[in-house]
């Protein structure tokens, strides 16, 4: 078993922890509070990340950790775990299904492992460098769509597009064959299994929202970058876009670059 296989086993263990806690809290009546920045917070966010950090420190004491709820712990190795216990807390707290737990491992700042876990209904996207993307235990691929006019486009919550990114949002909203909205991280998983062709997010993303998506999309044959086509990493923030094929991604970037 390779080192990456061992790390994936550990990541799957983290996903199991999150799935149990989040499904239990979601099935009850989640109490939602607000952080100083106005974003939503539930007990599941805090419980999951605390458990994750305990597990990582026990298994990999030299690894760094960056999490949404408890910040950054710098490690002494090349590896950093990037964690979002509940991505889509707003939806989670409202009893909706488009939320996920995001787990990523970066090596020298670049995502090499990603999990998008959907505890309700109990499904999971798993990807690692050179090993493809799997969903519900099977290998999946993006649609390889090349035609912007025929594409299925997932657009993030309109409120996430602020000032400079609004024209890009409006440009993609005016094209495509089918448009869906506010799909969150699950939409990037849907792109990896060929159901969505383009995913667009606005300015409100941080590394813990981004890193897990990268291996899932890329290992399925898709492309994911910032709006200027730059690769994503542990240092990434802000608006991102993913496409089902390199050719489609080039067309999407050309359209976005006309607006920025």
Q: What topology is assigned to 148-257 in CATH?
A: D-Maltodextrin-Binding Protein; domain 2 (3.40.190)
204 appears as a binding residue in the annotation: no
Q: Residue 110 class from Cβ within 10 Å (0-12 exposed, 13-18 middle, 19+ buried)?
A: middle
CA–CA separation, 103 and 161 (whole Å): 25
45 appears as a binding residue in the annotation: no
pLDDT of amino acid 160: 92
Enter the tokens of residue 135.
Answer: 């969903």
68 appears as a binding residue in the annotation: yes
CA–CA separation, 172 and 124 (whole Å): 28
CA–CA separation, 224 and 209 (whole Å): 13
Domain covering 3-140 assigned CATH 2.60.20.30 in the classification? no
pLDDT of amino acid 107: 97
Q: What residues does each domain of the chain span?
A: 3-140, 148-257
Model confidence over 66-82: pLDDT tens digits?
999 999 999 999 999 99
CB neighbour burial string for 119-141, b if at least 16 within 10 angstroms, e if fewer: bbeebbbbbbbebbbbbeeeebe
Model confidence over 107-154: pLDDT tens digits?
999 999 999 999 998 999 999 999 999 999 999 999 999 999 999 999
pLDDT of amino acid 40: 85
Q: pTM for the complete prediction? A: 0.96
203 appears as a binding residue in the annotation: no
CA 81 to each of CA 47, 122, 148, 157, 163: distance values in angstroms, whole numbers, following the listed order: 17, 23, 35, 27, 32
| pLDDT averaged per 10 residues in sequence order, the chain, 260 residues | 88 97 90 83 93 97 97 94 96 92 98 97 96 96 97 96 93 96 97 98 96 98 98 97 98 92
170 appears as a binding residue in the annotation: no
């Amino acid at each position: 078993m390779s080192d990456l296989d061992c790390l994936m086993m550990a990541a799957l263990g983290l996903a199991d922890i999150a799935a149990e806690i989040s499904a239990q809290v979601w099935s009850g009546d989640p109490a939602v509070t607000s952080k100083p920045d106005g974003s939503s917070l539930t007990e599941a966010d805090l419980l999951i990340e605390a458990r994750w950090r305990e597990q990582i420190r026990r298994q990999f004491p030299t690894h760094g950790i960056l999490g949404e709820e408890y910040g950054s712990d710098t490690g002494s190795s090349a590896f950093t775990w990037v964690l979002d216990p509940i991505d889509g807390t707003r939806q989670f707290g409202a009893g909706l299904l488009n939320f996920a737990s995001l787990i990523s491992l970066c090596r020298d700042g670049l995502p090499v492992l990603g999990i998008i876990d959907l505890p309700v209904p109990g499904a999971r996207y798993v990807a690692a460098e050179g090993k493809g993307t799997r969903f519900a235990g099977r290998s999946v691929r993006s649609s390889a769509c090349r035609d912007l006019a025929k594409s299925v486009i997932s657009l993030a919550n309109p409120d996430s597009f602020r000032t400079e990114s609004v024209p890009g949002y409006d440009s993609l909203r005016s094209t495509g064959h089918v448009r869906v909205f506010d799909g969150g991280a699950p939409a990037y998983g849907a792109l990896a299994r060929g159901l969505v062709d383009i995913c667009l997010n606005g300015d409100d993303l941080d590394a813990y929202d981004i890193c897990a998506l990268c291996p899932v999309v890329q290992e399925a044959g898709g492309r994911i970058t910032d709006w200027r086509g730059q690769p994503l990493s542990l240092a990434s923030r802000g608006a991102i876009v993913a496409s089902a094929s390199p050719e489609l991604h080039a067309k999407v970037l050309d359209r976005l670059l006309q607006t920025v």
